[in-house]
Structure 1
Amino acid sequence: MNVALADIPTLRQLYKLARLIPAEPTAAKYKHSGSLLDRVSLYQGTITALEVDAIVNAANKSLLGGGGVDGAIHSAAGRKLVEECRTLHGCETGDAKITKGYDLPAKHVIHAVGPVYSSHHTQTCAELLASCYRRSMELAAQNSQRHIAFPSISTGIYGYPVEDATHIALDEVRGFLSSESGSKIDRAIFVVWSDHDKGVYEDLLPLYFPLDGADPESDVKAEVKEGVKEEVKEEVKEEVEEETKEEVKEEKAPSE
């Protein structure tokens, strides 16, 4: 079943639903940006179901398909995808290339080649992984792709620690969306499959996309607080009405 963009919650909506917990102001790595809360999403499910402009494939250097997300995307897109990929003559680690989406609901696929993790070369791995996200967004902007969905690149068989990889992904996406080129992208979606990965993103997203700045009553928090107030008012109103009914009943009851 395909998933429309309108059915993918934004960070603002996730905050309202209390599925994201605001970070302490001192812990946040960036300043609050209300507009970015409407341009970033977290989605748990299969990336091949998304009806967006572009999905990112965690590809290998051959671009001819493999296991995990790579295999799932090639399988869902059909044979024409691998035929086009053959014309690209591979891709270097840290780089990305774009193709059509073919049988996928997504219009295009951006194939990003992440690094195989090595604890002996952590800085190099981090730079290459960051480059994957940056190059993917550059290609999306250059090709008028307004929506881009990312898997957690290199965290499968390539062995990149999920938390470390997530910090890199969030930092790169936040930086790019705040740039002039980033204004060409309306929505960046982080797609996870497992509950564990979802939990990591839920913990780290508020650090890179904080709910608000210095004013604790601003933006979404104020809306949430107002919603709670309305609920309390409604509960009090119901209690008062119930008590009034009971008093009226007692007054009408015949004396013994």
Structure 2
Amino acid sequence: MVIREPETGDTAMQITIGQTRVELIEGDITEMHTDAIVNAANSQLQHGGGVAGAIVHKGGRIIQEESNRIAPVPVGQAAMTGAGNLKCRYVIHAVGPRMGEGDEDAKLQSATLSSLRLADEHALRSVAFCAISTGIFGYPIDRCAEMMLTTVADYVQDSTGLKHIVFCLYDQNAYEVFEAVLRKIKPR
């Protein structure tokens, strides 16, 4: 495992696990140049607010129109659409859990894993995740970081075509929470 410490003026931390670079940045996921970005979606893929709303606002109505054709998507699963006017090629819509519905940790792990598998099935090389379910779904950021980062670390131990996985976090607090968890990740 290689850890690159942030340099002055640099908001990124990254490690390499197997052949995959896992990176944290603070920023706007709609500006990512990765092959795909992962949207925090609801089961009906109605992208009205939060990250989902921002993605449709920047990417265009075509994302919502494609989503309408493939919905519903069960909690813990993911589906993919084109990216409209975004800088990425695809949007992976991961349906994370709402706090209080039960078995939230397993559902978040499943949504993360489903997103990774979908990226591999489409031969994508890079993907950017947001902190799924931490907005209006109320999932705690510390548990989100633990579930998502350990799922990614376990997944990239095996054969994957993904070479770059980014966690694009919306604020300094989310970044710091993810950074603390990433520092503890030990490749198996």
Q: Same fold (TM over 0.5)?
A: yes
- Does the 8 Å contact 2:20/2:165 carry over to 1? no
- Does the 8 Å contact 2:11/2:25 carry over to 1? no
From 48, 57, 65, give the equivalent of 1:66.
48
Letter in 1 for 2:66: E
User: Normalising by structure 1, what TM-score?
Assistant: 0.67
- 2:38 matched residue in structure 1: 56
From 111, 126, 130, give the equivalent of 1:132.
111
- Cα RMSD (Å) of the superposition? 2.5
- 1:13 matched residue in structure 2: 4
Structure 1 unaligned segments of length 5 or more: list them: 1-10, 22-32, 211-256
Letter in 2 for 1:73: I
SS at 1:191's partner residue? strand
- CA gap of 1:196–1:34, structure 2 versus 1, over 3 A, is closer
- 2:86 matched residue in structure 1: 104
Query: How many Å separate the matches in 2 of 1:117 and 1:79?
Result: 29
> 1:89 Cα shift?
2.5
Structure 2 unaligned segments of length 5 or more: list them: none
- CA gap of 1:186–1:208, structure 2 versus 1, over 3 A, is same
Query: How many Å separate the matches in 1 of 2:68 and 2:12?
Result: 42
- Does the 8 Å contact 1:20/1:202 carry over to 2? no
Which runs of structure 1 show a deviation greater than 3 angstroms over 4 or more consecutive aligned residues? 15-21, 33-38
Choose between structure 1 and 2: higher strand proportion. 2
- 1:173 matched residue in structure 2: 152
Query: How many Å separate the matches in 2 of 1:96 and 1:13?
Result: 31
- CA gap of 1:69–1:105, structure 2 versus 1, over 3 A, is same
1:202 aligns with 2:160: no
User: Normalising by structure 2, what TM-score?
Assistant: 0.90
Query: How many Å separate the matches in 1 of 2:42 and 2:20?
Result: 32
Letter in 2 for 1:187: H
- 2:27 matched residue in structure 1: 45
Q: Identity rate of aligned residues, in percent?
A: 33
Query: How many Å separate the matches in 1 of 2:140 and 2:3?
Result: 27
Q: Looking at CA atoms only, which structure, 1 or 2, has the larger radius of gyration?
A: 1
- Does the 8 Å contact 1:12/1:37 carry over to 2? no
SS at 1:87's partner residue? helix
- Does the 8 Å contact 1:20/1:206 carry over to 2? no
> 1:144 Cα shift?
1.0
> 1:97 Cα shift?
0.2
Letter in 2 for 1:14: E
Query: How many Å separate the matches in 1 of 2:81 and 2:146?
Result: 27
Query: How many Å separate the matches in 2 of 1:83 and 1:125?
Result: 28
- 1:89 matched residue in structure 2: 71
From 188, 200, 208, give the equivalent of 2:165.
188
- CA gap of 1:59–1:20, structure 2 versus 1, over 3 A, is closer
- Does the 8 Å contact 2:20/2:156 carry over to 1? no
> 1:160 Cα shift?
0.6
Query: How many Å separate the matches in 2 of 1:151 and 1:34?
Result: 19
- Does the 8 Å contact 1:192/1:198 carry over to 2? yes
- 2:120 matched residue in structure 1: 141
Choose between structure 1 and 2: higher helix proportion. 1
